[in-house]
Each structure stands twice: as structure tokens, then as C-alpha cells.
Structure 1
Amino acid sequence: MTTAPEDPSSLAVRGAVGDASWEQLQRFSRLLIERGEPRGVIGPREVPRLWSRHIVNSMAVNSFIPRGARVADVGSGAGFPGIVVAVTRPDLHVVCIEAMERRCAWLDDVVSELDLRNVDVVAARAEDVRDEFDVVTARAVAGLDTLARWTLPLVRRGGVLLALKGERAAEEVQGAGRVLRRLGAGSWEVHEVVSPLDGSVTRVVEVRR
């Protein structure tokens, strides 16, 4: 039996994103619970922590994305962080890149239901995409060394890769240094972003070309 999700309505999330984005996030969360979980897009254990672990966690990249940027979200899955970024940053154009047909169908449905005119869904593996973006985002896709091989070729010169990582982010960065340099990264840094929902810390690895 699915446990009820968190209720962020009395907390600071609404203030962090504004009323319009807040309403869209609420709709997205309902879609995930009512349709995404039955379709296997998210597991039933994720529903109780949908906001803290997934939606608000995805918002952590927003402050590192310049206004008007063209963004690729690699391995979008259920829509994290790509759909959340598109909803909370309507100034951006977001391309959700997802290899699994079932997940692409889900993303297409979400884009249609939420009328997200700033989102395109591309059914492909990242390494097969021939394009360049101002920003590439990724969450729970692969270790940083592997992720860099897949994503840095998509980042234009002067652009940035933003990878959402866990507590061992600094160790991943240290271990991936040689690969990052070989792929043309100019600098990298781990940022800690405090959640407006529960005060937890999300780590964003920023890799610049």
C-alpha cells in the first residue's frame, strides 16, 4: 500500500519558486502519484519522500543555470531534474534526453498534461546525440567519470555540466579528475545547496568547459 506523500504547502517551497511554478509542481506531483507510480516510473517507496528526495532535490541546480540557457537533461527518467527545472525556470529551454521508450512516453505525457512549451523530449542515449548545450544536467545516472564521458561532449565551450550527487560527491570528483581534464573540463567544484523544505543538503557538482 502506498504511503501518503509529504505536504510541503506550509513550508518555504512555494516562496522559493513563485505561485505559477508552485501550481505546476503540485500538478506534476499528482501525476507522479496517480499515474507514474502505477506505470512503474517511480517506485511506491518514493511516494512518501517525493518532494524532499526528488522534486526539491532537483531544484538545487537552478541557481547555477544562467537565464535563457538551452539545457539538456540526460537520463531524465521520471522527470528529475529536467521537468522540475522546466517548470521552475520557464525562461529556459529544456531538452529531456532519455533512452528508454517507456520513460519517453511518460515524459511526453507530462509535457502535454502540464502544457510545457519549453520542453522537448528526445529518445536517445546521450552518446548518440549530436548537439551542444549551454548546460547539461544529470541525476542518478552514473558515476562522475562515466557521466562525464557521456555528457561533456554535449556541453559547448564555456558551458557547464551540473550533476546532482550524494554525500561522496567530493570523492567522485577527486577520482574523476583525470577523465575530466582529458575531456576538456577547465574547472570543477562541489556546491552544497540547503533544501527550503527540510534543511537537508544537496550536492551539485559543477564542471565547466
Structure 2
Amino acid sequence: MDASLNPEEVAEFFGDSFDQVAMFADQLAIQGELRGLIGPRELERLWERHILNSAAVVQYLPKQGTIVDIGSGAGLPGIVIACMLPDAEIKLIEPMERRCAWLSEMVDELELQNVEVKRGRAEEFHDAFTADAVTARAVAALDKLSRWALPLLHEGGEMVILKGRSVAEEIEPARKVLRKFKCTEPEILQGATLPGVESTTVLRTVRTKP
């Protein structure tokens, strides 16, 4: 665990999901660089930059229903969400075969019964199913991501995504696609986790009509 973090505070934050999340973090630390999932400089702050950063979105997601993570990659935030929301059905969409292999391995090793790994691009699943929420982390600019994510939502479904601090600048270029899918005005929220850990910026919008 990162030297800057208090292990007891981290364990308390994750509660019942801590053991699974810690196992995932351990495997990411052991295999992540070798398999091209994270860079070597990320290892010292793996928990703060990746695990807690991913966990920050959970407070804004539904506790049940279907949640889709677009471009799951290393499983951030999808695997972390699945550990923390065991009553939700999590679909991990990832186009790269080697990353899908990693995700499937983690699902098996962590004994996650609520996860389905789906290889492909988000737009390939637009007519396959709908979800209560779609999330993503470091995938694309808001206008492009909205085109991929919003068709996956049913009426009342939410796009809840992890973004950088400058996300407000991405809203205007995305207006056209947000209007097309009858979305509410995007909210910019702060995803706090532990004291001393920088909060994560989250953007949320609701699709109000099919």
C-alpha cells in the first residue's frame, strides 16, 4: 500500500470489500507493468492514483441494477466498482483481447459473481442491452464519450464518469450530443475518499427520454 496512506483508514473506507480490492491491487502491482496496464511510475501511488480514484465514483452510482464500464482496461474503475457494489450487475466493455484476458482472470480470482466481460467497442453494444448507469475513466473527451455511452442508457439512466479538473471545458463541445439524448444539464461533482487524498472530479448527467 502507498506509504502515504493509513492502512486502517483504507480498510475502514472499503469495509466488506477491502479484501477483494486489496487482492486486486496486489495483482495490479505484481503484473500491471509487465502486462502494459499501468506505468512503472504508478506503482508507488497505486492506491491513491488508481484504486481510491476509481472508488470515488461509487458514491454516485446506483447500488443495484446494471452498470457498464466503457474501456475497462486494467479494471479501473470497473473491477473496483464490482467489489464495492456486489448487488449490482457490472458489464466491462473492452476492445483489446489481452486486457479482456486480464479482466477475466481478475473476475475469476476475486470470485466476482456480478461481472461480465464483453470484448468490443461500446458502440457495438448499442442495441444489445441498456443500463442504469454508464461509467468510464480516462477514455475520451466528453463529446466522443457521450456518443458511445448515452445510447447504452435507458430512460432515467445516468452517465457518471471520472474526468480531469478541466471537464467544464468539455461540456460546450458536447452540447449537441447531450441534447440529442435529452440529457439533463451535466453536474460536476467532487468524489472525496480519504482525508489527505485529492478528490476526484466526476461528471453526471441523466438521459431523460429514450
Tell me, yes or no, whether TM beats 0.5.
yes
Unpaired runs of 5+ residues, structure 2, are none
Q: Is the 8 A contact 1:97 1:121 kept in 2?
A: yes
Query: Secondary structure at the residue paired with 1:12?
Result: helix
* Corresponding residue of 2:23: 27
Is 1:75 aligned to residue 71 of structure 2? Answer: yes
Normalising to structure 1: TM-score of the pair?
0.92
Residue 174 of structure 1, CA deviation: 3.2
Aligned length: 204
Counterpart contact for 1:149–1:183, Cα < 8 Å: no
Match of 1:201 in 2: 199
Query: How much has 1:67 moved relative to structure 2?
Result: 2.2
Structure 1 contact 93–119 (Cα < 8 Å) conserved: yes
Q: What's the % identity of the aligned pairs? A: 45
Instruction: Say whether 1:164 aligns with 2:178.
Output: no
CA positional deviation for 1:69 = 1.9
- Alignment-mate amino acid for residue 57 of structure 2: V
Q: Is the 8 A contact 2:48 2:197 kept in 1?
A: no
The residue number in structure 1 matching 2:11 is 14
State the Cα deviation string for residues 12-57 of structure 1 (Å, max 9, x = none).
3222221x31111110011101122211122211111211111101
Answer whether contact 2:2 2:46 (CA < 8 A) is retained: yes
CA distance in 1, matches of 2:8, 2:192: 14
Q: Hey, which bits of structure 1, 4+ residues long, moved more than 6 A?
A: none
Q: Which amino acid aligns with 1:96?
A: L
Tell me which residue corresponds to 2:102. 106
Provide the rounded CA distance (Å) in 1 between the counterparts of 2:147 and 2:101.
26
TM score, norm. by length of structure 2: 0.92
**Structure 1 segments unaligned to the other structure (5+ residues):** none
Mean alpha-carbon deviation: is it higher for 73-82 or for 42-51?
A: 42-51
RMSD, matched Cα: 1.4
